[in-house]
Amino acid sequence: MNDSAFADPPSGTERARRRRRAAPDIERGVSVIREQLRTMPAGPGVYRMLDDDGDVLYVGKARSLKRRVVNYTQPAKLPHRIFRMVSETTRMEVVTTHTEVEALLLESNLIKRLKPRYNVLLRDDKTFPHILVTGDHDYPQIVKHRGARTRKGHYFGPFASAGAVNRTITALQRAFLLRNCSDSVFGSRTRPCLQYQIKRCSAPCVGYVSEAGYAELADGARRFLTGRSHDVQQELAARMQEASDALEFETAAIFRNRIRALTAIQAHQDINVEGIEEADVVALHSEGASSCIQVFFFRAGSNFGNRAYFPSHDKDTEDGDLLSAFLGQFYDDKPPPRLVLLSHPIAETALMAEALSTRAGRRVELLVPQRGSKRKLIEHATANAREALGRRMAESASQRRLLEGVARVFGLDTPPERVEVYDNSHTGGTNSVGGMIVAGPDGLMKGAYRKFNIRNVEDGTRDERMAELEAGDDYAMMRQVLTRRFARALKEDPDRTSGNWPDLVLIDGGATHLAVALEVFAELGIDDVPVASIAKGPDRDAGRERFHVPGRESFSLERRDPVLYFLQRLRDEAHRFAIETHRARRTKALGGNPLDDISGVGARRKKALLHHFGSARGVARAGLADLEAVDGISKTVAKRVYDFFHDDG
């Protein structure tokens, strides 16, 4: 529909008024349809309703066109949305098909292409990225791929995002040392490139690996991506042990690093389910005229991520009809997997399954699980859909309007284009880090995030001006972070032409934190960057935050003020980023033997964990389900290991 998906629904009085207003036109629409019925075929096909301007209002399919279309000639029985559609209809077009399956496929294609405002519309035209291991060269290349599969090779995916593909390719390069350069670059090399230097390529371009040796590496990557990851990992672990037993420690370290790289992409989450090799999990959550559909992708036994969709539809659309319309459009230009798990039953399940099977060229099963592990998957995806819809509805006001509100709250002349938010994290003064997140008119700018490893707490003094920094001194840590950030900005971009200077600096803290920030700016000679701080309210109660701005009394905002909610989310994002950065540093600082400190993990279990994950850091990053999958590790021990590395205290 053209109306906003989040607009307030009309009242009963308003609906009645609209129906009365449309009454003179309903007779015209009904007469147009009755005229078409005189020559309407009885077989399967697709029909289109058009208005005065020739725009398509609605596309529908039917097993029997005549039986389906005749329903539109009874206005008293029509839902309000269809009543309006018939009132606007001035012409109809019909296309017959051989089967109802063909009609369903054609309907989905036309809806996606024409976007009729009375149909459920999937508002997404993005293609999914895949990983391609090429097959048209003696030394296969590993690359990200979108679009038609015109190049010879093996395709793996879909992945939910380009970021997931990029991370996976990087890890695969480290694990299997495959090239990602083009064939022309490969043919012109006379010495190894940087990828070889950073241990992401075996340099086949200059003969550092034989064709047979490279083929073995490429085969390992393909086996890993087709679900045989455990076998590949076991082989690498065995070769690492052999090298270690032979005192070839450098070789053993190479295999250890390769295992560690695989761990980064092999790490399962608790939502992975044994026995599901290839499936999509499609879950719907609706609230009136607003809905979210979450799709989780499972391929080769691994979770390839998920993506949220927000289809446009009328508030009276049934959940099953909405899900059915989504499936038709979603798989219109992509092959469906062998199994599609649904949160709600849909009408004509057998027909949809047959249509998807026709598109895939093999059998596709649609299933609405009622119990067991598959049901757990659906519940998890539904919870994600519910949360995503809640976030979207909360953010229904545009980012620009929120930034205008921020300008109003803090007395800025114009809405900020770049807001930087700072927070610190540490444990008893150890592994201290500072985090900076950035937001702008397009939302969070994650590529601009920065972390600061705090110096002079555990590492010794590097800057005499900060020599008195003591463990756990949050104010001194903030001083260091801001000094390093803006001293560098003054050095690299004194004229402020790069767009990397903030229009507002927001500190997570109280009046003292604000005073520290002002002192830093005064020392650096910066007097035109607005700064404010946000302090938690009494009892750390969300909604009672106090804001501190230079030259003003501290103040709070109304609990339901969308600007308050926006600022809370920025503060929480900075806190999340700082904590995650701190945890990563803490894990790294654990050194080589953190497993020694876990009760119940002796030499045998420690060896099993290290062989499976490649390093203690890999163990620290593992999910509970991953730990339980290790040979010799019981569920009790797995939980103990997981809790050790995920203690938020």
First-residue to last-residue Cα distance in the chain: 49
Closest of 266, 301, 275 to residue 612, by C-alpha: 266
Q: Are 66 and 121 in contact (CB under 8 A)?
A: no
Contacts of 56 (CB under 8 A, 6+ apart): 48, 49, 50, 110, 114, 116
pLDDT reported for residue 462: 42
Residue 642 has what pLDDT? 84
Domain 15-114 CATH superfamily: GIY-YIG endonuclease (3.40.1440.10)
- Greatest extent of the chain over all pairs of C-alpha atoms, in Å: 92
**What pLDDT is attached to residue 15?**
44
Asked if residue 282 lies in contact with residue 326, where contact means CB atoms within 8 angstroms, the answer is yes
CA 174 to chain centre: 24
Which pLDDT does position 469 carry in this prediction? 47
State the pLDDT at residue 125. Answer: 58
The CA radius of gyration of the chain, in Å to the nearest whole number, is 30
Of the candidates 291, 295, 346, 339, the one whose C-alpha atom is nearest the C-alpha of residue 121 is: 291
Q: Is the dihedral of CA 115, 117, 118, 121 positive or negative?
A: positive
CATH 3.30.420.10 fits domain 279-394: yes
Burial class (CB in 10 A: 0-12, 13-18, 19+), 189: middle
Q: Which of 6, 92, 106 is nearest to 54 (CA)?
A: 92
Q: Where are the domains of the chain?
A: 15-114, 130-266, 279-394, 400-582, 588-645
Task: Encode pLDDT of 361-405 as tens digits.
Answer: 889 999 999 988 889 899 999 998 988 888 777 665 567 788 999
Q: Comparing 279-394 with 400-582, is the CATH topology the same? A: yes
Provide the pLDDT for residue 418.
Answer: 94
11 secondary structure, DSSP code: P
Alpha helices in 450-561 (DSSP H): 474-492, 511-524
* Separation CA 501–CA 388 (nearest Å): 31
Inter-residue contact 6 to 398 (CB < 8 Å): no
- One of 1.20.272.10, 3.30.365.10, 3.40.50.720, 3.30.420.340 is the CATH number of 400-582, namely 3.30.420.340
- The predicted structure's pLDDT at residue 549: 95
Closest residue by Cα to residue 395 from 433, 324, 444: 444
Superfamily of domain 588-645 in CATH is 5' to 3' exonuclease, C-terminal subdomain (1.10.150.20)
Predicted TM-score (pTM) of the model is 0.53
The pairs formed by 144-149 with CB atoms below 8 angstroms and a separation of 24 or more are 144/169
- Those residues of the chain that have pLDDT short of 70 are 1-24, 123-126, 227-230, 264-275, 394-398, 426-431, 442, 456-472, 538-543, 585-594, 597, 646-649
